[in-house]
Amino acid sequence: MFALLLLVAAAAAATEYDLGPEFGGDLCYAQPFEEPITNNAEFVNDITALVREKIPERVVHAKGTGAFGYFELTHDMSRYCRADFLRGVGKRTPVAVRFSTGAAERGSSDSIRDTRGFAVKFYTKEGNCDMVGFHTEMYFYSDPHRFTTVVHAVKKKPDSGMYDYDTYFDAITELPETCNFFVNLYSSHGIPLNYRHMPGFPIHTYQLVNSCGEYYFSRFHYMPDLGVKTLKTMDALTLSSTDPDYSVRDLYEAIQRGDYPSWTVYAQILTMKDVKKHGAKVFDVTRSLSIDDFPLLKIGKLVLNKNAKHFDKEIDQLAMNPGNVVNGILGAPDKLFESRSFLYRDAQYHRLGKNHNKIPVNCPLHKILTYNRDGMYPVGDNEGSAPNYYPNTFGGPQPFTPAWPSNCTRKYRKEGLIQITESPAYNSDQIVEFYNQLTDEGRQILCDNLVMVLKTTSPRIQKKSVYLFGKVHEDLARRLAKGFNSTVSNYE
């Protein structure tokens, strides 16, 4: 009887504690099971590592992907620019490229109607040069103060945590300069088929300087060799639900199978005479530059032929900054470029730390000498025993000064960005021109895309929107009103 009771007790104990292989296999603990789980060093190491795996996501352009390859120069640019990677036909420069959506979070769909990022890091012999652009030739606004307003308006509301087209279109209608961008975004050109068929535009008019100190200016274009292709609205909505990582997958798999995507790189060149003739509007990022006035000059080929081996290490930690320029490219003289140069650097400090340029994917080909020290990992060799102050008499690094060829007479005594007087953004003429060039089908697609989202907004926002887009073209206002089963007179 006593033996039977022992067997029953043993069976009960096994039922409670020993689940056996069919319930997941053997469990091995460093300490007896009765001790607190937090005393288990293996568990603590695993769980604390898990909750610290991801760095903060980007405030904008959080969802994205990227790849590596090269830029090959096919037209010598030394007449306009002394940058090494733009001199010598056939020269190849390693590049990293990151593609992204704009406002949406890291887990969002690739096929939403949103601005797309197209950022290129050139690993040149003279340091890294970043050109951080978009899939449209123009940008939302030129006034840096608009950045927070637009970002907050197009992202989720703080009270509900949901997207709200009332705030979205309220901001647009309060900032008419954004209209040029949004008319393009809601046209049939708005949603790229994928990243391999997407163009890229760094948006700024960059100031270049050649070996003789002469100034030129340029806007760059990356045009996909597969052709520019876009998604219809309903196809994009379907893809968003069936394959939200569609563009990420498409790029990765194409490179894996050896179908390397490429872009032909063009430059629109301006002289100082052109700048004086056309004024500061050539630096207005809410406008595109006329190809009739400034023809496209084919300068090279951008090819992506290598996927990242570790996404987090090589793509998520890839840090771009428009302010990263090299000898021969001075940046752009507009205030938006100046503010982006600060903003992007500060964003990387927040996400990756002050030493983000020492993360392998952000390191230039050659070591950059600096007086910066210490801080969060990685610090590298921390500049060794070199002095950490300037000036000094211990052989510390000296500021870069360009060498001038003996046969050149310097045109400008002091080299630097020109000073421009920026006026409020004006692009109404380009919006009208764009709309007039659309076919009847193209106009209706633009109208249908706008109506689809504006129908979710309040009558007040609909009225503001019809009024704003009516300034673009009476026909667009009439089509929008018809889409709301009304007439223009009801929105005046």
Biggest alpha carbon–alpha carbon distance for the chain: 112
pLDDT score recorded for residue 15:
47
Residue 62, pLDDT score: 95
Q: Above 80 in pLDDT, residue 417? A: yes
With 60 as the cut, is the pLDDT of residue 93 above it? yes
Are residues 122 and 22 part of one domain? Answer: no
Q: Is there a contact between 190 and 230 (Cβ–Cβ < 8 Å)?
A: yes
**Could you tell me if residue 189 is left (phi over 0), alpha (psi between -120 and 50 degrees) or otherwise beta?**
alpha
- Listed residue (131, 115, 97, 127) closest to 205, CA to CA: 131
Average pLDDT over residues 334-353: 95
**Same domain flag for 37 and 75:** no
Listed residue (182, 187, 180, 188) closest to 168, CA to CA = 182
The answer to whether residues 248 and 308 belong to one domain is yes
What confidence tens digit (pLDDT) does each residue in 144-202 have? 999 999 999 999 999 999 999 999 999 999 999 999 999 999 999 999 999 999 999 99
* 431 in a structural domain: no
Mark whether 12 and 69 lie in a shared domain.
Answer: no
User: Amino acid identity, residue 61?
Assistant: H
Residue 373: pLDDT above 80? no
Asked if the model's pLDDT at residue 227 lies above 70, the reply is yes
User: Which of 302, 329, 362 is a domain's end point?
Assistant: 362
- As given in the structure block, the two tokens for residue 164 are 């709200």
CATH number at residue 312: 2.40.180.10
Q: Report the predicted TM-score, pTM, of the whole model to 2 decimal places.
A: 0.89
Tell me the CA end-to-end span of the chain in Å, nearest whole number: 96
Residue 25: per-residue pLDDT:
54
Summarised one tens digit per residue, pLDDT across range 232-289 is: 999 999 999 999 999 999 999 999 999 999 999 999 999 999 999 999 999 999 999 9
Does residue 374 come out as left (phi exceeding 0), alpha (psi in the -120 to 50 range) or beta? left
Residues 148 and 21 in one domain: no
Residues 70 and 92 in one domain: yes
Q: Which domain holds residue 38?
A: 2-50
54-to-98, 106, 251, 311, 316 alpha-carbon distances in Å: 18, 11, 23, 12, 9
State whether 267 and 211 are in the same domain. Answer: yes
Residue 166 phi/psi, 5° resolution?
A: -65, -50
Q: Using the predicted structure, report yes or no on whether residue 405 has a pLDDT greater than 80.
A: no
Residue 72 in this model has a pLDDT that exceeds 70? yes
Which stretches of 226-365 are DSSP H helices?
A: 233-242, 246-256, 272-278, 311, 335-352
Which residue, of 304, 335, 362, is where some domain finishes? Answer: 362
- Distance CA(243)–CA(307), nearest Å, equals 20
Residue 403 lies in a domain: no
Residues 82 and 44 in one domain: no
* Orientation angle between helical segments 428-437 and 459-472, nearest 10 degrees: 80
Does residue 22 lie in a domain region? yes
H-helix or E-strand containing 428? helix 428-437
Name the domain count of the chain: 3
Same domain, 254 and 346: yes
Q: Which of 2, 202, 49 is nearest to 120 (CA)?
A: 202
Least confidently predicted of 36-40, 141-145, 152-156, 227-231: 36-40
